[in-house]
A and B are shown apart, each in its own frame.
Chain A
Amino acid sequence: MIVQPVLVVAAALFSLGIYGILVRRNAVMVLLSIELILNAVNINFIMFDTMLADTMMQGQIFTIFIITIAAAEVGIGLAIVLMLFRNRQTANINEFDLMKW
């Protein structure tokens, strides 16, 4: 009954995250959008876990792992942004085009 709405909302969160990544200029904002995507995945996992009533609770366990990895990712990501900011005096990812032809 409520499975499909929750899944659709998770998909919506995911898409909004994508939108944020594509549109935001500030690197910190991009990282925020990535958190949104990860949260969408978490919601999916929990929903499926509850729906399947898994005795091993693998959905919840994976969610915990994802949260942990996300924390690590945020740490590293912000460190990189900080580094870039220190070198370029800006956190605007439009201006990072070292890989340009």
Chain B
Amino acid sequence: MVNNSLILFAEAEAVYTDGGVLAEFSWLLVVLPFFAALLITFFGKYLPMKGAEVALLTIGSIFIYSVLLMYLHITQGIANEFFVNVGTIGQFDIEFGWVVDGLSIMMYFVVGTVALLVFIYATNYMQGEIRYTFFFTSLTLFAGSMLVLVSSPTLIQILIGWELVGVCSYLLIGHYWEKKDNSSAAMKAFITNKIADVGLMIGIIILALNTGTLRISEILYQATHDYDGITNVAFTAGILLFIGAMGKSAQFPLHVWLPDAMAGPTPVSALMHAATMVTAGVYLLARMFPFYQSIASEALDIVMLFGVITLLTAGLIAVVQDDLKKVLAYSTISQLGYMVAAIGSGAYTAALFHLWTHAFFKALLFLGAGSVIHAVHSNSMLEMGGLRKVMPKTFSTFIIGTVALAGLPPFAGFFSKDEILASFNHEGETTFFFIAVLGAFITAFYMTRAVSLTFLGEYRGHGHPHESDSMMTTPLIVLAVLAAGSGWVNIPGVYTGFTDWVTTRKTPIIEYHPESFDLFALGLGLTAGLIGIALGYYLYQLQGSAETGDSKIKVEPIWTVLENKYYIDDFYFKFIIDPIKINMAKAVDVFNTNVIDRFINSFGQIASFLGAIIYNNIDQNGIDKFLNMSSSGTDSFGGKVKLLQTGRTQQYLMLFLGGVVTISLLILFII
């Protein structure tokens, strides 16, 4: 049945153009950041803004380029890909290149916009911080790596971009590596991602071996035309690719790195959790979506299951967090759960739409949180409160981000979340639908809690917080506009431009597009959001305790479980890391002392015995004597030869000419 609809769709040719010169030169998008990173590394310190201007200029031009591409795409629709062959391994052509189609242009735009605003914000936020120039090098590199990833037409380039993003995130999370916590957070992010990357790598290898190509478009073509090779491994490959996506997009149970990644500077968190890195997993799933949909639908069910689990569990943890950034971190995981679940349910556009809106309002929330933290010098919400009066700009923009995340109309989150709910409802996934509604309620609840603890009530901290610099508030205002308005590009029944943007691809996308609002889903989602806000306001504002601002209600034992994050970290430590560390270490120690050391010791004894013999006989009497003799010989010989060195040029010339004559005679008459 699925196949029938596929064939039907494939017959209807999608309308697109090749994009012309603008598409041909899109490689600039990818190359520029790397070039800029080199420039900053070598010359950054000598520039007046310590390298930030290079980063800003680069990301600004990327932004402008992406806007041009976006405009061209909206007006005529682009789908094209370019390849550069760099070599051959076995039967595989190793190709790099760049894709210019709806999906990647959308990602270029998101990355360009959010990165530009974050960079502007960071120039001020990081002022006077340690390793300022290096920070901008890695930040530029980070944006560049993400562009490598999203522009990639081959699986090999995806893998390279994937790893580059991982490395850059490691550098950025561990920016303050002098503190042990920060460096271990960076390590945790890197290792967790690495575990997932193994899945991705194996998945790529399986796909490549069974299709004979690394080009994504080729693989998708084979998948949608039911080639035998790829159909046989579809489920395995699908699951393995999803494991890769799980790591980057922080899906349960590999989400543990993301909250710890808050150790990095706030602009990094904003960039990492809005536009880059965490969207990589969703992007991969979206890029491979035709493959999943046509031949790996069982894998898609598992994707949906994990997405739904993630959205619920992460949302619940966010409720009990006291650290403002951690609330947002768990919120990010939860929203990523929405996206992944949407892809799992087959709602390609809905997932990308949520990615699109989420990028803006989550960047806004993170930057707002950064502004607050900058003012209060603390991450803990218990030391905040009442900031609406001193930081009006941050407060109003944060509120816009909150309602966008909570899903109130007409803000961006409303439309995207509604589309996800509607597609769950349409697919008949009743249980998941209600869990997602519950997730919407929880989202609204914890965001209300965060706003209430941070901005409402009375100030509980120390010092005198003040509004941030305009370099920091301007990005907030721009993002607030985007958070409010970015949802209007896809209103069912009114304007569905976004759907056309992201479905303009070489491989046609088949999915359900709601023609009008699903009133049942909409009503339920909106009600859940409103109840969440009302409850949050009631519990934390009207009934909250005055000293801490927190609610007096703590439901044991659920709160304890949530505060310990379901003991997942403890589980990992107890059953994976510690056994490896303790038992393995012990075993290695025993093996070391009993086998290796003994072997080496005996070897050493033999060696020292032999050495004594050699030293006494051969070394002292043989080699040393010879060396001493030769050195004293050289000395006395040199003492005699140096007499030739009279310093008189005529004598030198005479010797020289005598030598010339002798050699000439030799050459002429003897040789």
CB of B649 within 8 A of CB of A100, answer: no
CB of B650 within 8 A of CB of A99, answer: no
Q: Which of A36-56 touch B at CB < 8 Å?
A: none
CB of B653 within 8 A of CB of A96, answer: no
Closest B residue by C-beta to A27: B649
Judge if A1 is at the interface, Cβ distance under 8 Å: no
CB of B646 within 8 A of CB of A97, answer: yes
- Interface residues on chain A, number (Cβ under 8 Å): 11
Closest B residue by C-beta to A97: B647
CB of A22 within 8 A of CB of B654, answer: yes
**How would residues 647 to 668 of chain B score, 1 for a CB under 8 Å from any chain A CB and 0 otherwise?**
1111001100100000000000
Q: Which of B25-41 touch A at CB < 8 Å?
A: none
A97 contacts which chain B residues (CB < 8 A)?
646-648
CB of A93 within 8 A of CB of B647, answer: no
Closest A residue by C-beta to B641: A101
Closest B residue by C-beta to A99: B647
Q: Which of B621-662 touch A at CB < 8 Å?
A: 642-643, 645-650, 653-654, 657
- Interface residues on chain B, number (Cβ under 8 Å): 11
CB of A93 within 8 A of CB of B650, answer: yes
Judge if A21 is at the interface, Cβ distance under 8 Å: yes
A40 CA / B648 CA spacing, docked (Å)? 26
A101 contacts which chain B residues (CB < 8 A)?
642-643, 645-647
Q: Which of A1-33 touch B at CB < 8 Å?
A: 18, 21-22
- Minimum distance in angstroms from A83 CB to a CB of chain B: 16
B648 contacts which chain A residues (CB < 8 A)?
93-94, 96-97
- Minimum distance in angstroms from A36 CB to a CB of chain B: 15
Judge if A72 is at the interface, Cβ distance under 8 Å: no
B647 contacts which chain A residues (CB < 8 A)?
96-101
CB of B645 within 8 A of CB of A21, answer: no
Of A18, A94, A96, A99, which is within 8 A of B645 by CB?
A99
B642 contacts which chain A residues (CB < 8 A)?
101
A97 CA / B647 CA spacing, docked (Å)? 4
B657 contacts which chain A residues (CB < 8 A)?
18, 22
A93 CA / B653 CA spacing, docked (Å)? 13
CB of B654 within 8 A of CB of A100, answer: no
B650 contacts which chain A residues (CB < 8 A)?
21-22, 93-94
- Minimum distance in angstroms from B62 CB to a CB of chain A: 60
A16 CA / B650 CA spacing, docked (Å)? 15
Closest A residue by C-beta to B645: A101
- Minimum distance in angstroms from B651 CB to a CB of chain A: 9
A94 contacts which chain B residues (CB < 8 A)?
648, 650
CB of B646 within 8 A of CB of A93, answer: no
- Minimum distance in angstroms from B508 CB to a CB of chain A: 76
Q: Which residues of B contact A (CB under 8 A)?
A: 642-643, 645-650, 653-654, 657
In the A-B complex, the 5 residue pairs with the smallest Cβ-Cβ separation, listed nearest first, are: A97-B647, A100-B647, A99-B647, A101-B645, A101-B642
User: Given A21-B650, A97-B648, 16 more contacts at CB 8 Å?
Assistant: A18-B657, A21-B653, A22-B650, A93-B649, A94-B648, A94-B650, A96-B647, A96-B648, A96-B649, A97-B647, A100-B645, A100-B646, A100-B647, A101-B642, A101-B643, A101-B646
Pairs across A and B, CB under 8 Å, 21 listed: A21-B650, A21-B653, A22-B650, A22-B654, A22-B657, A93-B648, A93-B649, A93-B650, A94-B650, A96-B647, A96-B648, A97-B646, A97-B647, A98-B647, A99-B645, A100-B645, A100-B646, A100-B647, A101-B642, A101-B645, A101-B646
